[in-house]
C-alpha cells in the first residue's frame, strides 16, 4: 500500500497558477480532439475586443470589453453612462462588437449579467438565457446568455 502525504498551502502564487494552467491545458488537449485540433492555430488564443463610445467632449460615454476565442465572442463588460442610456448606445456598442467578432470568424456570443443589470436588454438583442444561477451573490440572480451570430 502506498502512503501519500501532502502539504496543503493557500497563499496566492502566480508561478504555481501558471504551471497549473499549463498542466490543465495539456490534460484537456490530450482528452479532447477538438482542443487538440486548436493547438497551434490562431483560434487557440484569446484576442481582445474593445469598443468605445466617446461623447462630444471626448469623455467615455460607454464601452464594451470582451474577447474572441475560437468561434466565440465573450462580452465581459458593457456599460453606458446614465446620461446616455435609452438612446440606443448600448445596442450600437453590442452590434459593433458582434460585427467585429463575425469578421474574426465568430459564430456565437456569450455573456453574463445580473438580474438588476440588463437581462431584458440582451433578450431584445436576440440573446437567449442558457443558465440561471440564483443567489450569486446572495439576493442576486446571475444569467448566462448566448446568441448565434450572422
pLDDT at position 44 is 84
- What pTM did the predictor assign? 0.87
Q: What is the CA radius of gyration of the chain?
A: 20
At 42 the pLDDT is: 80
Q: Give tens-digit pLDDT for 58-102.
A: 999 999 999 999 999 999 999 999 999 999 999 999 999 999 999
**What does the chain come to in residues?**
150
Q: What is the mean pLDDT of the chain?
A: 95
DSSP string computed for 52-68: EEE-TTS-EEEEEEEEE
Task: Map residue 48 onto helix, strand or coil.
Answer: strand
| DSSP per-residue codes, the chain | ----------S--HHHHHHHHHHHHHHHHHH-HHHHHHTTSGGGS-EEEEEEEE-TTS-EEEEEEEEEETTEEEEEEEEE-GGGTTTTHHHHHHHHHHHHHHHTT--EEEEEEETTTSHHHHHHTT-EEEEEETTSSTT--EEEEEEE--
Q: What pLDDT score does 149 carry?
A: 98
Region 16-41: mean pLDDT is 93
Single out the residue of 41, 15, 39, 12 nearest to residue 28, CA to CA: 39
Residue written as cell 438580474?
115
The pairing of strands 47-54 and 128-133 is unpaired
Tell me, what's the pLDDT at 1? Answer: 67
Whether the Cβ atoms of residue 109 and residue 100 lie closer than 8 Å to each other: no
How would residue 141 be classed by pLDDT, with cut points 50, 70 and 90? Answer: very high
pLDDT tens digits along 115-132: 999 999 999 999 999 999
Amino acid at each position: 500500500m502506498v502512503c501519500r502525504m501532502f502539504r496543503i498551502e493557500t497563499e496566492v502564487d502566480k508561478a504555481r497558477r501558471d504551471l497549473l494552467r499549463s498542466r490543465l491545458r495539456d490534460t484537456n488537449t490530450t482528452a479532447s480532439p477538438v482542443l487538440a485540433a486548436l493547438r497551434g492555430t490562431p483560434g487557440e488564443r484569446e484576442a481582445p475586443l474593445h469598443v468605445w463610445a466617446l461623447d462630444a467632449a471626448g469623455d467615455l460615454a460607454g464601452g464594451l470589453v470582451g474577447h474572441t476565442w475560437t468561434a466565440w465572442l465573450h462580452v465581459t463588460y458593457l456599460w453606458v453612462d446614465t446620461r446616455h442610456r435609452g438612446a440606443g448606445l448600448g445596442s450600437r456598442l453590442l452590434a459593433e462588437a458582434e460585427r467585429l467578432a463575425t469578421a474574426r470568424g465568430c459564430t456565437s456570443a456569450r455573456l453574463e449579467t445580473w438580474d438588476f443589470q440588463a437581462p431584458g436588454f440582451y433578450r431584445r438583442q436576440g440573446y437567449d438565457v442558457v443558465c440561471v444561477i440564483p443567489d450569486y451573490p446572495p439576493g442576486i440572480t446571475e444569467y448566462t446568455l448566448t446568441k448565434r451570430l450572422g
